[in-house]
Structure 1
């Protein structure tokens, strides 16, 4: 089994479609890394786009999958071969999502963690806290 993971920003709002009685949420994730150009020595960005298909009946996350949102997505690669209008054969790679979690938004710096109900998938949600979250100081008084 091959498993891929990507963290990046959505390039466009997601679309929710019904295909043969099943619901699919489609979105694209852009991951940008910086690298040093070997000829000039300067740092340059390199963006990789990943097309994602999330086959699920749980569409509650769809309104939050907006352009610019930061997401974590994992799943299996799915390839498709097709013929273009000019007769050339092409292959596309799509990430068939098993788990997607909202990490925040580039537009308004909102933070969504899995325990708020916005992370949907097969894995348990991680428990994250920001500096403004109340911390239970009595947790150290446990007898074990």
Structure 2
């Protein structure tokens, strides 16, 4: 099995469809790398990955909006197609097995992330909330909280 992992931003809002009675969430993820060419000029290279997340749990769909940063993991597939000018195009697609929200570029929105996974349609990780850790205790006395907490 070949596994592909990608971190990037969604190029547009996701689309949820039903194909042969199964739900699929389609979206694309872009990752841009910055580098310098031989002359020392700053260049950008963007790679787009088309993603298909086959799942019965479509609760993540409202959060998959343009600009949202995600981590996706799954199995890759290369697809070829004919372009309008007669040449052959190639696209990298990913059958998503797990996805995690990393953040958002939206103004006024929160940047909380959460993870969803659908490994062989048997497991599911609910969104993680930024839980406050239990109060730390000092020394062997478990009744007294520490005074030097950073918050």
So what's the TM-score if we normalise by structure 2? 0.75
2:141 and 2:76 map into 1 onto residues whose CA distance is: 45
**Per-residue Cα deviation, 1:116-140 (whole angstroms, up to 9, x for no partner):** xxx21048689785xxx64423367
TM-score, reference length from structure 1? 0.78
How far does residue 82 in structure 1 lie from its aligned partner after superposition? 3.5
Partner of 2:116 in structure 1?
120
Could you say what secondary structure the match of 1:98 adopts? strand
Runs of 4+, deviation exceeding 3 Å: 81-91, 122-129, 139-143
Quickly say closer, same or farther: Cα 1:47–1:85, change in 2 above 3 A: closer
Task: Answer yes or no: is 1:18 the counterpart of 2:14.
Answer: no
Rg: which structure is higher?
2
Q: Give the aligned partner of residue 149 of structure 2.
A: none
- Evaluate the alpha carbon distance shift between residue 93 and residue 139 of structure 1 in structure 2; reply closer, same or farther with a 3 A threshold: farther
Assess, with a 3 A threshold, how the Cα gap between structure 1 residues 23 and 127 changes in structure 2: closer, same or farther: closer
More contact order relative to length (CA 8 Å, sep ≥ 6): 1
Structure 1: segments with no counterpart, 5+ residues: none
In the TM superposition, residue 22 of structure 1 has moved relative to its aligned partner by: 1.1
Q: Name the count of aligned residue pairs.
A: 135
